[in-house]
Amino acid sequence: MSRYAARRDKLRRSLRKAGVDALLITNFTNVTYLTGFSGDDSYLFLLAKGEVLISDPRYTTQLEQECPGLEASIRPPGVGMVEGVAQIAKRARVGKLGVEASSMTVALRDQVAAELPKTELVSTGDLVENLRLIKDRDEVAEIRRAIWYAERAFNVLRASLRPERTEKEVADELENQIRLYGAKGCSFPSIVAVGARAALPHARPTDQKIGADDFVLVDWGADGGPYKSDLTRVLVTGKISPKLERIYRVVLSAQEQAIAAIRPGLSCHEVDQVARQVIAAAGFGRDFGHGLGHGIGLEIHEAPRLGTNQHLKLEPGMVVTVEPGIYLPGWGGVRIEDDVLVTKGGCQILTTLGKQWEDALVR
């Protein structure tokens, strides 16, 4: 059985508990997870027996290549997605059809309901996302590959960092290197933020020169196609200020202690608290204004979230970022981010780039 068929079977077993006869998967990432199909604009209709991928003629060849053996309903021109869904529901006599509440628009739901007056639409939450929480060995290998692209590209950037280059030039070069190493692209637009601009957790690269301040924050990741990586490093390019070193060491200590705590059974909230307490004890409690981390996989931000009031418990196979930060408006920010796999005995850091204070110094 293919990995995709196994996932669909697992999902099928959750249908009864969700109180539905069938499930319409409208989240394209979830469709990819369940079929291997990498295109857009296609839904998966999961029935009690079998399943149908509803797509259009643009994808006929791609579907044959990516999902051999999967039943596909290719909508002829003029037949809308809603009609395609309705045909399958009627043919299979679906009484209760589950829909993905976090993906389906209200408009689409209304249209499907109008086409299927005898079918009850039931909102379901995170049925596929809950499967995606736990990565299998192949997925972990693909995340490792996405990390490999990102790290290689970063090493090139680090070696070629010059004071006269701008944030944008450095970001463009980093992204180009990620592609040259073989990645499909970037997980998200890279952040290259010099000095005070590093206080903005989502800074966009500007024409600011690297040499305009003493340090630069880089947050980047590779899209290995389709699995993603996500890292952050701070590089010291100018003079070493005691303040920067102190803050860097606090963030590093918070990150290392949080990682050391990660193990199955601990809640996401508890892991977040480990880092938060280290930062608070150093007097920067108010300057760590975001959650500790997030899951990565097919999407760059997915479950679980490491943060306050996130009570989900860690399980082996989850892959999360651990990325505490301290941000001081007008001065700058330090964040250190690695990707971590939860294992039976604790965890394993998937990223391999050095992050000690000495590693941050660019000479």
- What is the gyration radius of the CA atoms in the chain, in angstroms? 23
- Rounded least distance, CB 363 to Zn ion, Å: 25
Query: Which is nearer to Zn ion, 26 or 321 (by Cβ)?
Result: 321
In the complex, minimum distance from the CB of residue 191 to Zn ion, in angstroms, rounded to a whole number: 7
- The two structure tokens encoding residue 211: 């040499």
Give me the least distance between CB of 316 and Zn ion, in Å please: 21
**Shortest CB 335 distance to Zn ion, Å:** 8
For the bound state, the minimum distance from the C-beta of residue 321 to Zn ion, rounded and expressed in Å, comes to 4
Query: Which residue, 31 or 296, is less far from Zn ion as judged by CB?
Result: 296
217 close to 201: Cβ distance less than 8 angstroms? no
∠ CA 164-167-173, nearest 5°, is 90
The residue whose two tokens read 């809603």 is 82
Q: 103 or 232, CB closer to Zn ion?
A: 232
- Give least dist CB 221 to Zn ion, A: 6
| Closer by beta carbon to Zn ion, 52 or else 296 | 296
Using the minimum distance from each CB to Zn ion, give the nearer residue, 201 or 346. 201
What is the DSSP code string of 288-325?
--S-SEEE-SSSSSEEEEESTT--PBP-TT-EEEE--E
Smallest distance, Zn ion to C-beta of residue 105, A: 27
CA 110 to chain centre: 30
- Say which DSSP state 353 is in: -
CA–CA gap between residue 301 and residue 158 (Å, rounded): 26
Contact 304, 295 (CB under 8 A): yes
- Closer residue to Zn ion, CB minimum distance, 51 or 337: 337
Containing H/E element for 334?
A: strand 332-335
| Among candidate residues 144, 134, 99, the one with its CA nearest the CA of residue 304 | 134
Contact 325, 288 (CB under 8 A): yes
Strands of 22-25's sheet in order across: 72-74, 51-55, 43-46, 22-25, 96-100, 120-124
Binding site for Zn ion (CB under 5 A): 219, 230, 232, 321, 337
Q: Which is nearer to Zn ion, 232 or 237 (CB)?
A: 232
Cβ(251)–Cβ(279) below 8 Å: yes
User: Taking CA 285 as the corner, what is the angle to CA 279 and CA 289, rounded to the nearest 5 degrees?
Assistant: 100
* Shortest distance (Å) from residue 132 CB to Zn ion: 17
Identify any residues that bridge with 313 across adjacent strands, giving them in sequence order. Answer: 267
Nearest to 71 by CA among 88, 90, 94, 89: 88
In whole angstroms, the minimum distance from the beta carbon of 306 to Zn ion comes to: 10
- Rank residues 155 and 241 by Cβ distance to Zn ion and give the closer one: 155
Cβ proximity to Zn ion: between 88 and 198 the closer is 198
